[in-house]
Amino acid sequence: MPMLLRLRLLLASLGGGLLLALVLCLGAQNLEQRPRLWLGVGSTPPLPAGFLVGLALVVGVISGGSCTALLLPRAAQAPGRE
């Protein structure tokens, strides 16, 4: 039962993140301000500022849901067997 709950949490976070990414890609088409990100070894192509902020939000949703699914305590664990 706990494994099914973990799978549901993981799939829900991935699905929600993918839907947010789809909406983000559709909404970031006509933005004029396009800064570059400097990554140390190079830079990204010019991307809209709203796209960069939205991408950080999508990554946060996916990583938060994944961490919640992985750190969920086991329900039927015997005492002393941690």
* pLDDT single digits (tens) 31-49: 677 777 787 888 878 877 7
- pLDDT-derived band at 17, boundaries 50, 70, 90: confident
Write down the mean pLDDT value for the chain: 78
Q: Tell me how far CA of residue 56 lies from CA of 61, 75, 82, in angstroms.
A: 9, 33, 35
Helix (H, G, I), strand (E, B) or coil at 1: coil
80 burial level (CB within 10 Å; 0-12, 13-18, 19+): exposed
CB 52 within 8 A of CB 37: yes
